[in-house]
Structure 1
């Protein structure tokens, strides 16, 4: 049982305004593992860590999230899996 860590940084300065989806590669996550995804933002203090059970994502190559940015709030909507814990 391993903890697999992935990090993603929200970078609106380098993406088109219509490009709001971010992919997380998870092909090496096994059914007994835990996936930890740290999401931060390039220009503010936003930082969230999302935890996923390996059994829910073990047969997938990736999951993704959509960023909804309404100043000053940022909302993350997951596709392909739902986190069991958010910090």
Structure 2
């Protein structure tokens, strides 16, 4: 079992308004792996880690998340798979 890490930064200052989905490539993740996705925000202290079972994403090319209310309270909505754990980092 290998932990595979992907990092994403929410960047509303440079992201086009119609581009609401952030992609996570999952093509190299095996069924026994753990995918760890770290998400931060360019303007505030938002810092979350999401863990996924490899078996939930191994059969996909990618998973995606969208940011809801990026200027106020940040919520992450996943598509393609749901995390098994969400960690608030300080």
Shared fold, TM over 0.5? yes
Report how far residue 20 of structure 1 moved.
1.6
Normalising by structure 1, we get a TM-score of: 0.94
Gaps of 5+ in 1: none
Q: Deviations over 1:28-85 (max 9, x none)?
A: 1100000000000011100100000001111111100010125431000000000000
Which structure 1 residue ranges, 4+ long, deviate > 6 Å from structure 2?
none
Structure 1 contact 20–68 (Cα < 8 Å) conserved: no
Q: In structure 2, list runs of 5 or more residues that go unmatched.
A: none
TM-score by length of 2: 0.91
Q: Please tell me the root mean square deviation across aligned C-alpha atoms, in Å.
A: 1.0
Secondary structure at the aligned position of 1:56 is classed as helix
